[in-house]
C-alpha cells in the first residue's frame, strides 16, 4: 500500500470498490498492517475506517465468502485488542446480521468471543452487539442440536448483567436456548440464571433514553421462564416459594403475571401434575379479600385459566379423562373448610371458585354440583340464621343447570333431591325471603327438567310466584315470569282449566294480565287464542270508559307478546279490536254547533294503539290490517269527517301507512277529498278536524296530474284563512309542504313560505311543535326518510327559515326565561344542525347559550349534536377569538356540564371540543379548577379524552390541579370522534408522575381517531 493511500477516506475506498478498481478483501489485506500497528491511535483510526467502509458499502458488493472472511478477521483482531476495538465489533455485528455466514464459522466466532473475552467487563454497546450476534446464530441453528457449550460460556460471561438494554436481548437468548436446544445438565443452570432476575425491580427514569420499561423486561423474562415444558416444574416451584415469602403487592402481582404466562405457554400435559398444588396456592390469595369483588382479582383470573385447562373436553386417553376428576376432588377437599361457613367470611369467594370450575365440562359440573348440594343440605338445618345464604348458593347452581345435559341416572336423582328440598324447606316456609329463593330454584329446575314437575307442583309454584308479586317480596324470582310461558307450552290444558282460573280468583286481574298473560301468549298458539278470547270478553263487558282504559294496557302487552307466525290468531285479534272500536267509537265527533261533543282521550289512545298494531305487524299482515281499516272507513264515507271512529282511530293508521309508503287506495282518498269540509264549507273547519292528515296522504300517494294540482292550489289559496283558525291543522302544513317539495311541486314553495310566515305570529310552544313536525313527522315510521331525500336547495330553504324563527325564539326566552320552551327549541335546533349545519353562521353567538342548554338535555342525540356545534365553533377562526371572556365562559360551561355526568363517552366528546388552539392561546381559559375538582366529577374524569398535543402538557400541568385522573392527549388532526368503535392509535410513550402517581399517556395518529 502506497503511503499516499493512507490518507484516503472511507468514501474514497467505497468509490474504489464500487468502480471495481479494488475489491473488499484487498482493502482489508492492505489495512492489516495499520490494524496491528504499535501506535494505538493508528490502530484506532484503522478500525474506524474498516467499520465505516463495511457498514456503508452497498450489500451487492459483498459476497458470502467475503463476508465470512471479514467476520473471521474482525473476530480475531477484536480478541487481541482491548482498547479502541469497538468499531471492529460493530463491523462484525453488521456482517453477521446482514449476510449468511456459515453456522460453523459463526459458532467458532461466538465460542472464541465467550472464552477469550470477559463480556461483562466490556462496554454496554459491545455487550449488546455480542448478545445480538449470539441470538442471530441461535435463531438460525437447527432445533434440537446440542448448544450446552455456548449456554455454559454465555452464563459465565453474562453473570452480573444489569443493563436493561442488554437484559432484553439476553432474555431472548435464554428463551431460544430453552425452547429449541438440548442443554443437558445446563438446564438447571440456565433456569437458576434466569430466575435470579425475578421479580423485575427495574424503574425507568424520567430521561429513559432506550424507552425500555419494567413491563417490557417483565414480559421478556416471563417468556423465558415459560419457554419449554421442562421449565414447568421449576417455574411452579419458584412461584410457590416466592409467594410463601413476605412479598408486597407489586411482587405478588409479578407472580400472577408469571403464572398467567405459564398457563398460556406450557402444555396441558406439563400443567396437570402441578394443578393441585397450584389450586392450593391460589385459594388463600383469592379468598384473602373476603369480599364480593373476588371475580375481579388477578388471582381469580389465573384460577379461571387453570380450571379451563384441567377441565378441557376430555381426551380418549384414560389418564387424560380422569385428570379433571382428580383436580375436582382436590378442589373440594381444599375448599370444604370455607364452603357453607359464612362466619369465616370467604364463602362467597369459594362459591365463585366452584362455579368457575363447574362451567367447563358437563362431567365436571355434575360432580361439583352434587358435592355442593350435599354440603348445602348438610348445613341448612344447622345454621338457621344463614338459611337464606345457603338457598342463594343453591339457586346459583340451579341456574346453571339449563346449559348442561343429563349424563346419568344419578344426575336426575340429584335434581329430584334439590326439587324436594326447595318444596319442603323453602316454599313451605313462613319466611317470604325463603319463598322467593325457592320459587327461583324451582323455576330454574323446571327449565332443565320439567318432567320432574308434577301438576300439583305447577299449581303451587304459579300461586306462590303471584303471591310474592302481590306482596312485593320479589327479589330472586323477579325474572321468573317466563314460568307461565313454560307451563303454557308443556301442560296447557291443565293450566287453562285449573291454574289460570285460580290465579284470576285469588289475585288482582290487572296483576295477572300484566305478568302472566304475555309469557302465556308466547308459549303456544292455544294460549294466545285463550288470551285473545279473554280480552275480547273483557272489552265486550266493559260498561264505562274507565273499564275500557283499564283494558288498554293489557291490549298493548298482548301486542308485544304476539306471535306473528300465527296469522289466524293475529287476524282474530285485529278483528276483535276493530269490532270493539266500531261498537264504542262510531259516534259524531262534533255537536250541531261545531263543538266537541265528548272527551277524545280514550279514542285517541285507541287510535294510537291501532297505529302500533299496524307498525308492529310484518308487511303482509300490516297490508291486510290496512285493507280492513280502509274497508271500514269506506263504509262511512258520507260521515267520515264527522265520525270520531274515522278521525280518531282510522286516520292514525292512514298516517302510518303513508309514511311507510304502502297506501295504495288513491280512489278512496280522492273520494274523501270531494266531500272534505274544508273544500265544501271552509268556515266549518274546527279545531278537531283532521283535514291536514288527508292532505298529507294525498301529497304522498296521488300521482301528479290535474286533480292533484287542483287540490293543492285550493289548499295554498285558502291556507291563510283556513289554518289561521285551526292550529292543529296548521301545525301539519309544514309536513305537507315538505312532502310537496320532495315531489318538486311548485305549490310546496309557496306553502312553505306561508307556513313560516304564520309561525312567526304564533305562540312559541305552538311554533316549536309545528317546526318539529317538519323534521320528524311521522317519527314512528322506520322507513321515513322524507326530509333526508329532499334536494339540497330545499333543505337550505327550510333550514334558513328555521334559523330566523329560532333566533327570534331564543331572544324571547332570554328576555322572558321559559326553561321548557328553551329545551324544546334547543332540541329542534339540534335537528336542524344535524341536517344542515352550514346554514347556521358560527359568528352568531346567540346560539351559544341555547346549545349549552342542549348539552344538558336528557336526549343523547341532542347532546351529541350540541357537542358537534361547539366543536365547529371553537375550531373556526372568527370574532370569538377576540372575546376571551366569552371563550372562557364557553369552556367553563363545557367543563361544568360534565362534572356530574356519568357518561364517560359523552364527557370525552365535550373535552374533544377544547381544541389545541385554545390550549396554545391562553392556558387561563382552561383554568376551571372548580369544575374539575368537584368530588362528583372524579369518577367521570378518570377516563376523559382531551384533544390536544404533547406540547400542551406543560400548559395543562400549570393550569389544572394534580389529581387522580387520566389525561389522554391525541393529535390535533382529529376531526371527529366516532363513538362505539374500538380502534385506537398507537401508544408512543408512557410516563408517570412519581409524586402524584398521575400517568399521562400520549397517543399519536396520522388521521382520524375512532374511539
Instruction: Report how far residue 724's alpha carbon sits from residue 694's, in angstroms, rounded to the nearest whole number.
Output: 18
* Intervals of the chain under pLDDT 50: 1-5, 290-292, 314-320, 343-345, 687-688, 777-784, 915-1011
Which residues are CB-contacts of 784 (< 8 A; sequence separation ≥ 6)?
A: 659, 660, 778
Each residue's pLDDT tens digit, 505-548: 888 877 787 778 778 876 677 777 787 777 777 776 777 767 77
Q: Residue 472 to residues 427, 436, 487: CA-CA distances in angstroms?
A: 16, 10, 23
Rounded Cα gap, residues 333 and 927, in angstroms: 60
- Say what the pLDDT of residue 4 is: 42
d(CA 403, CA 418): 17
Q: Is there a contact between 90 and 129 (Cβ–Cβ < 8 Å)?
A: yes
Closest residue by Cα to residue 792 from 840, 830, 742? 742
Report how far residue 332's alpha carbon sits from residue 311's, in angstroms, rounded to the nearest whole number. Answer: 14
> Cell 294510537 sits at which residue?
608
Q: Which cell goes with 765?
A: 310552544
Chain centroid offset of residue 334 CA: 38
Taking the domains of the chain in order of start, what are their residue ranges?
481-565, 686-840, 891-1011
Q: What is the pTM of this model?
A: 0.54
SS3 995: coil
Whether 702 and 708 have beta carbons less than 8 Å apart is answered as yes
In 917-996, the DSSP E strands lie at: 945-947, 967-970, 986-993
Instruction: Name the one residue in this structure whose C-alpha cell is 317470604.
Output: 432
* Under 8 Å between Cβ of 656 and 614: yes
Judged on CB neighbours under 10 Å (0-12, 13-18, 19+), 950 is middle
User: How many other C-beta atoms lie within 10 A of the C-beta of residue 78?
Assistant: 24
Q: How many CB atoms lie under 10 A from the CB of residue 1007?
A: 10
Amino acid at each position: 500500500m502506497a503511503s499516499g493511500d493512507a490518507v484516503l477516506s472511507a468514501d474514497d475506498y467505497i468509490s474504489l470498490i464500487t468502480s471495481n478498481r479494488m475489491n473488499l478483501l484487498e482493502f482489508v489485506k492492505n489495512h492489516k498492517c495499520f490494524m496491528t500497528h504499535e501506535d494505538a491511535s493508528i490502530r484506532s483510526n484503522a478500525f474506524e475506517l474498516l467499520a465505516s467502509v463495511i457498514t456503508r458499502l452497498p450489500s451487492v458488493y459483498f459476497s458470502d465468502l467475503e463476508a465470512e472472511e471479514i467476520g473471521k478477521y474482525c473476530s480475531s483482531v477484536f480478541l487481541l485488542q482491548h482498547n479502541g476495538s469497538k468499531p471492529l465489533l460493530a463491523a462484525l455485528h453488521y456482517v453477521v446480521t446482514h449476510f449468511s455466514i456459515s453456522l460453523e464459522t459463526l459458532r467458532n466466532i461466538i465460542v472464541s468471543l465467550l472464552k477469550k473475552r470477559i463480556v461483562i467487563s466490556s462496554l454496554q454497546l459491545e455487550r449488546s452487539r455480542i448478545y445480538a450476534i449470539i441470538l442471530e446464530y441461535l435463531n438460525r441453528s437447527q432445533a434440537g442440536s446440542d448448544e450446552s457449550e455456548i449456554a455454559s460460556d454465555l452464563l459465565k460471561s453474562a453473570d452480573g448483567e444489569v443493563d436493561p438494554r442488554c437484559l432484553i436481548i439476553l432474555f431472548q437468548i435464554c428463551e431460544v436456548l430453552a425452547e429449541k436446544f438440548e442443554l443437558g445438565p445446563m438446564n438447571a443452570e440456565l433456569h437458576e440464571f434466569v430466575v435470579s432476575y425475578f421479580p423485575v425491580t427495574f424503574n425507568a427514569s424520567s430521561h429513559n433514553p432506550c424507552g425500555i420499561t419494567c413491563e417490557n423486561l417483565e414480559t421478556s423474562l416471563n417468556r423465558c421462564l415459560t419457554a419449554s415444558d421442562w421449565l414447568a416444574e421449576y417455574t411452579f416451584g419458584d412461584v410457590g416459594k416466592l409467594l410463601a415469602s413476605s412479598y408486597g403487592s407489586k411482587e405478588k402481582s409479578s407472580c400472577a403475571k408469571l403464572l398467567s404466562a405459564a398457563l398460556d405457554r406450557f402444555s396441558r400435559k406439563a400443567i396437570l401434575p402441578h394443578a393441585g398444588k397450584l389450586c392450593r396456592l391460589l385459594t388463600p390469595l383469592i379468598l384473602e379479600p373476603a369480599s364480593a369483588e373476588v371475580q375481579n382479582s388477578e388471582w381469580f383470573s389465573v384460577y379461571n385459566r387453570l380450571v379451563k385447562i384441567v377441565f378441557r373436553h376430555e381426551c380418549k386417553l384414560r389418564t387424560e379423562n380422569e385428570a379433571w376428576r382428580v383436580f375436582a376432588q382436590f378442589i373440594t377437599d381444599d375448599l370444604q373448610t370455607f364452603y357453607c361457613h359464612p362466619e369465616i367470611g370467604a364463602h362467597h369467594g369459594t362459591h365463585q371458585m366452584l362455579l368457575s370450575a363447574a362451567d367447563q365440562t358437563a362431567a365436571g359440573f355434575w360432580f361439583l354440583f352434587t358435592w355442593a348440594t350435599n354440603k348445602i343440605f348438610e348445613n341448612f338445618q344447622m345454621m338457621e340464621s344463614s338459611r337464606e345464604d345457603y338457598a342463594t348458593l343453591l339457586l346459583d347452581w340451579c341456574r346453571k343447570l339449563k346449559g348442561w345435559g343429563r349424563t346419568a341416572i344419578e344426575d336426575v336423582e340429584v335434581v329430584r333431591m334439590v326439587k324436594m328440598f326447595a318444596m319442603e324447606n323453602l316454599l313451605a316456609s313462613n319466611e317470604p325471603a325463603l319463598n322467593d329463593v325457592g320459587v327461583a330454584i324451582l323455576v330454574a329446575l323446571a327449565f332443565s327438567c320439567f318432567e320432574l314437575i308434577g301438576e300439583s307442583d305447577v299449581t303451587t309454584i304459579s300461586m306462590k310466584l303471584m303471591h310474592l308479586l302481590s306482596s312485593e317480596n320479589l327479589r330472586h324470582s323477579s325474572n321468573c315470569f317466563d314460568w307461565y310461558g313454560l307451563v303454557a307450552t308443556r301442560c296447557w290444558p291443565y293450566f287453562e282449566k285449573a291454574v289460570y282460573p285460580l290465579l284470576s280468583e285469588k289475585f288482582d286481574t290487572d296483576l295477572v294480565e300484566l305478568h302472566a298473560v304475555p309469557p302465556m301468549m308466547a308459549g303456544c298458539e292455544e294460549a294466545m287464542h285463550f288470551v285473545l278470547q279473554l280480552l275480547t270478553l273483557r272489552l265486550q263487558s266493559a260498561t264505562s270508559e274507565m273499564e275500557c282504559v283499564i283494558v288498554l294496557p293489557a291490549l298493548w302487552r298482548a301486542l308485544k307478546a304476539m306471535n306473528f307466525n300465527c296469522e289466524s290468531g293475529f287476524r282474530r285479534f285485529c278483528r276483535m279490536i276493530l269490532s270493539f272500536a266500531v261498537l264504542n267509537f262510531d259516534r259524531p265527533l262534533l255537536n250541531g254547533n261545531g263543538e266537541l261533543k265528548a272527551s277524545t282521550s280514550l279514542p285517541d289512545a285507541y287510535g294510537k294503539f291501532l297505529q302500533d298494531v299496524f307498525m308492529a305487524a310484518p308487511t303482509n299482515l300490516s297490508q291486510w290490517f290496512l285493507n280492513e281499516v280502509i274497508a271500514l272507513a269506506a263504509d262511512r264515507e258520507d260521515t267520515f269527517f264527522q265520525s270520531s271512529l274515522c278521525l280518531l282511530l282510522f286516520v292514525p293508521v292512514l298516517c302510518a301507512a303513508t309514511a311507510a309508503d304502502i297506501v295504495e287506495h288513491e280512489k278512496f282518498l280522492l273520494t274523501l277529498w270531494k266531500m272534505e269540509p274544508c273544500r265544501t264549507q271552509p268556515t266549518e273547519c274546527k279545531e278537531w278536524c283532521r283535514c291536514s292528515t288527508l292532505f298529507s296522504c294525498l301529497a304522498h300517494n296521488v300521482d301528479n296530474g290535474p286533480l292533484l294540482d287542483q287540490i293543492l292550489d285550493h289548499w295554498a289559496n285558502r291556507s291563510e284563512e283556513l289554518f289561521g283558525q285551526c292550529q292543529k291543522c296548521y301545525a301539519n302544513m309544514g309536513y305537507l309542504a315538505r312532502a310537496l317539495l320532495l315531489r318538486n311541486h311548485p305549490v310546496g314553495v309557496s306553502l312553505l313560505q306561508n307556513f313560516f310566515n304564520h309561525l312567526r305570529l304564533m305562540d312559541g310552544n305552538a311554533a316549536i311543535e309545528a317546526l318539529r313536525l317538519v323534521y320528524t313527522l311521522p317519527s314512528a315510521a322506520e322507513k321515513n326518510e322524507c326530509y333526508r331525500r329532499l334536494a339540497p336547495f330545499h333543505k337550505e330553504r327550510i333550514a334558513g327559515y328555521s334559523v330566523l324563527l329560532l333566533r327570534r325564539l331564543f331572544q324571547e326566552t332570554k328576555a322572558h326565561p321559559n326553561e321548557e320552551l328553551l329545551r324544546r327549541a334547543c332540541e329542534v335546533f339540534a335537528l336542524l344542525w344535524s341536517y344542515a349545519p352550514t346554514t347556521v353562521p358560527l359568528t352568531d353567538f346567540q346560539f351559544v347559550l341555547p346549545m349549552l342548554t342542549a348539552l344538558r338535555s336528557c336526549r343523547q342525540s341532542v347532546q351529541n349534536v350540541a357537542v358537534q356545534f361547539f366543536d365547529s365553533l371553537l375550531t373556526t377562526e372568527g370574532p370569538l377569538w377576540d372575546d376571551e371572556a366569552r371563550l372562557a365562559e364557553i369552556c367553563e360551561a363545557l367543563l361544568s356540564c360534565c362534572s356530574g355526568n356519568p357518561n364517560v363517552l359523552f364527557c370525552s366528546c365535550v373535552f374533544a371540543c377544547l381544541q389545541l388552539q385554545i390550549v396554545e392561546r391562553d392556558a387561563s381559559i382552561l383554568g376551571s379548577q372548580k369544575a374539575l375538582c368537584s368530588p362528583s366529577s372524579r369518577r367521570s374524569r378518570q377516563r376523559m379524552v382531551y384533544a390536544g398535543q404533547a406540547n400542551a402538557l406543560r400548559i395543562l400541568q400549570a393550569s389544572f390541579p394534580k389529581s387522580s385522573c387520566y389525561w389522554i392527549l391525541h393529535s390535533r388532526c382529529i376531526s371527529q370522534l366516532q363513538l362505539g368503535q374500538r380502534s385506537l392509535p398507537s401508544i408512543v410513550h408512557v410516563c408517570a408522575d412519581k409524586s402524584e402517581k398521575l400517568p399521562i399517556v400520549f397517543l399519536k395518529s396520522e388521521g382520524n381517531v375512532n374511539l
